[in-house]
């Protein structure tokens, strides 16, 4: 059984806070993001025994930085992919501010959906199923999973017993670590949004 799961958000990239990237191809870390993830490794204790990541480039790059630090290979975990934002993918936040669907999404995540995209509930289901499989599987030790804000937030909402509409209550900053402990009784949160000061 995996005893500890560190959920790490990828580092900074040039479009952060300006464009809703979602699953846009080719979005990689900038220099700031690389530095953030290198510092993030300092908080990972005990050292991980395995590293997984989302298929997105920025997550793979972040995982590779951590993997090189700890001498590990990286396994792609499709279940930890970014949420599919459908028609909103690649739009700027300025553009989205005039979209009533965007306003609804940001107030009622539990029963709204990006146009032609994925619901937060569907995202949460695939992420939690993956985490529970890890808890019940044959892997041991400490696992790092590099993902994105929404998948990590969905997991934390679930294990906190909060509704999807409570998403603003949980911050998931770039290069932050949120930690879960797993045992025979289930999965429990032991840390949220931990970061090395800049």
Q: Is the peptide bond before 46 cis (omega within 30 degrees of 0)?
A: yes
Mean pLDDT for the stretch of residues 55-84: 98
Please give the tally of structural domains in the chain. 1
Least Cα distance to 93 among 157, 195, 17, 39 occurs for 17
- List, for residues 36-48, the tens digit of each pLDDT value: 999 999 899 888 9
- List, for residues 112-171, the tens digit of each pLDDT value: 999 999 999 999 999 999 999 999 887 789 999 999 999 999 999 999 999 999 999 999
CATH number at residue 37: 3.40.50.1240
Domain that holds residue 50: 2-194
How many CA atoms within 13 Å lie on the side-chain side of 80?
A: 32
Confidence of residue 198 (pLDDT cuts 50, 70, 90): low
Tell me the chain's radius of gyration from C-alpha atoms: 16
Q: Which residue has the tokens 């199923």?
A: 129
């Amino acid at each position: 059984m995996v005893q500890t799961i560190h959920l790490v958000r990828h580092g900074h990239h040039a479009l952060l806070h300006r464009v809703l990237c979602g699953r846009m191809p080719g979005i990689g870390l900038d220099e700031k993001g690389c530095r953030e993830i290198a510092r993030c490794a300092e908080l990972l204790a005990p050292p991980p025994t395995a590293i997984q990541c989302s298929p997105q480039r920025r997550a793979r790059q972040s995982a590779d930085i951590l993997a090189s630090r700890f001498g590990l290979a990286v396994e792609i975990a499709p279940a930890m992919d970014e949420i599919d934002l459908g028609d909103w993918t690649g739009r700027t936040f300025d553009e989205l501010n005039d979209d009533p669907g965007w306003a609804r999404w940001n107030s009622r995540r539990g029963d709204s959906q990006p146009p032609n995209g994925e619901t937060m509930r569907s995202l949460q289901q695939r992420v939690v199923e993956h985490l529970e499989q890890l808890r019940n599987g044959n892997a041991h030790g400490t696992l790092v999973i590099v993902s994105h804000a929404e998948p990590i937030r969905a997991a934390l909402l679930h294990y906190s017993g909060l509704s999807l509409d409570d998403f603003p209550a949980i911050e998931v900053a770039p290069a932050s670590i949120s930690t879960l402990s797993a045992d025979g009784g289930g999965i429990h949160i032991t840390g949220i949004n931990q970061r090395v000061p800049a």
